């Protein structure tokens, strides 16, 4: 289980911040992993180069910790996809 403080520490240590948007996706969230609370549930979603939601990445969670763990996995994938292209 991961809490918000530990999540922030990992994001900073692994330099994932430029791929993270805490909040609902908007016009400034190109190629981002977004994590936010929607009522009683937590949501993670990735966006494309046009800041549009990639439908297949939309996940909902009852628990913040699960959402943060999912966000970390998505952030690492996003980083690897963008930074390690040949």
**Which pLDDT value is given to residue 81?**
87
Q: What is the mean pLDDT of each run of 10 residues along the chain (86 residues)?
A: 94 97 94 97 96 96 97 95 78
By residue count, the chain amounts to 86
Angle at 77 between CA 75 and CA 81, to 5 degrees: 120
**Which pLDDT value is given to residue 5?**
95
């Amino acid at each position: 289980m991961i809490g918000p403080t530990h999540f922030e520490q990992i994001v900073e240590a692994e330099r994932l911040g430029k791929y993270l948007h805490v909040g609902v996706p908007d016009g400034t969230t190109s190629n981002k992993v977004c994590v936010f609370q929607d009522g009683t549930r937590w949501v993670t979603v990735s966006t494309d180069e046009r800041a549009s939601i990639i439908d297949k990445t939309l996940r909902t969670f009852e628990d913040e910790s699960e959402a943060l763990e999912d966000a970390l996995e998505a952030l690492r994938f996003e980083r690897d996809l963008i930074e390690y292209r040949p």
